[in-house]
């Protein structure tokens, strides 16, 4: 059986989208599930409790997004009655970066040590991608959210190459190359499967 990791991002407070992704990814045989942040939306924090409850009940590994941070920051020392203290504490404790089997998972930028919380907010343009892909790292595969459209980027022969996967399309992650994979947003009905054994990712439309 192939080792499959289900990846989702940018649910922005849509609990139904999270449930749908977990159901779809689990039905495909994903043994591990990851959420790349912006679980919540700072403009509708009242949905945070339900979103977090679903992730916790299903053991979804989660990194912190900028909206998750804002939900916490806006309630620092305050009980506004819209988000439970347990949810605030869980969101506050989320890491900015996790590693699974040699791959890194972040919300936006991988430069957590250098940028701190700004790594959640700043976008990853061609300059940042070229910098990341052009130097050796402990991980040769980076999964990220923040941008809501899926994309797979690598550097080959000193040039950036990017592909936008259509729903259902599988893209090979050639061994020996480094890749940056943007998952696509749950609020757009998108998630992704990483097949570790076949070195490939597949974009899914829910």
pLDDT digits (tens, 9 = 90+) for 128-139: 999 899 876 667
Q: Hey, which bits of 22-178 come out as E strands?
A: 32-35, 61-62, 97-100, 103-106, 141-144, 151-156, 159-163, 170-172
Out of 64-78, 127-141, 142-156, give the one with best mean pLDDT. 142-156
Cα gap 107→12, rounded to integer Å = 13
Domain ranges of the chain: 4-205
Determine contact, residues 181/142, Cβ cutoff 8 Å: yes
Q: Which of 55, 43, 65 is nearest to 17 (CA)?
A: 55
pLDDT digits (tens, 9 = 90+) for 183-200: 999 999 999 999 999 999
Average pLDDT over the chain, rounded to whole? 94
pTM assigned to the model = 0.95
- Please give the CATH architecture assigned to the domain spanning 4-205: 4-Layer Sandwich (3.60)
């Amino acid at each position: 059986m192939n080792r499959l990791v289900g990846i989702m991002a940018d649910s922005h407070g849509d609990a139904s989208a999270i449930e749908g992704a977990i159901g779809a990814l689990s039905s495909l045989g994903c043994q591990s599930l990851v959420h790349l942040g912006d679980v919540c939306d700072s403009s509708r924090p009242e949905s945070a409790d339900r979103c977090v409850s679903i992730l916790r009940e299903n053991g979804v590994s989660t990194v912190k997004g900028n909206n998750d941070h804002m939900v916490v920051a806006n309630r620092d020392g305050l009980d506004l009655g819209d988000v439970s203290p347990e949810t605030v504490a869980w969101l506050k404790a989320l890491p900015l970066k996790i590693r699974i089997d040699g791959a890194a998972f972040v919300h936006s930028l991988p430069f957590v040590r250098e940028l701190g919380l700004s790594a959640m907010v700043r976008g990853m343009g061609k300059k940042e991608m070229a910098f990341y892909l052009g130097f050796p790292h402990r991980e040769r595969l980076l999964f990220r959210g923040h941008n809501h459209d899926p994309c797979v980027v690598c550097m080959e022969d000193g040039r950036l190459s990017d592909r936008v996967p259509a729903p259902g399309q599988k893209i090979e992650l050639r061994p020996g190359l480094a890749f940056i994979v943007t998952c696509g947003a749950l609020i757009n009905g998108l998630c992704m499967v990483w097949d570790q054994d076949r070195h490939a990712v597949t974009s899914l439309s829910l």
